[in-house]
Structure 1
Amino acid sequence: MEAGESFQDAVIRELAEETGLIALTRDVELLGTLVDHVEGVLRITVGALVHAWQGHLTTQPDESAGDWTWHPLHQLPDGVFVCSAQILTASRPDLRIDHPPAHFAVFAPAK
């Protein structure tokens, strides 16, 4: 996040920077806050679902996210990024993804 940026705005900016996809605020659903410890560092992640976007998924030259590919949730490959695995299983307990434990606090639904 950048100073003064809302969680939704951070999601939209990061999505565009890392994937080239463009989303609108109304299409971002914040799921909750995930807290875990990795190598002695307290890590806080805010999970979000983006329900609609425009553009085509492309690897961005100045980002280190690697190559992007789409996978159905029931066919995720091994080695899903830990924070992603934790958010996915917090929001979808039916998914069986192995990952280190984390605490997840759900955001109240938007009114």
Structure 2
Amino acid sequence: MPLCRKPYSYSKVDKEDPEEIIHRRAQFLIHKVLEQADSRRKPSCLRIRISKLKVKIGNRLRRLRKRIMLGVSAARLGIHGHVMNQIKTLKKLFGPGRQSQSLIALPPLLN
């Protein structure tokens, strides 16, 4: 059978111990986290100020948006109430029950 093998083929490696695989993976992750911690710089005062300013601006925009929406909804309710009152008044004036009474009560026109 050795003659059938290709000259540069890979040979199968025995399976590793699962605990050793877990240990090696943990070591790799620890090494990776330590490298990231070393590469990070301490945030500058300017960055901290800018981030606080962004938060403050975001809060103000959120409050402004809420106030605008509250004003719009209040205006809608006011307009809706006004329109409904006008419609009720018009219905009372030109409603079918009122119309028949007004025609009967009016004297006929004589020329």
Fold agreement, TM-score > 0.5: no
TM-score by length of 1: 0.14
Higher strand share: 1
The structure whose RCO (Cα within 8 Å, separation 6+) is larger is 1
For the pair shown, the structure with the greater C-alpha radius of gyration is 2
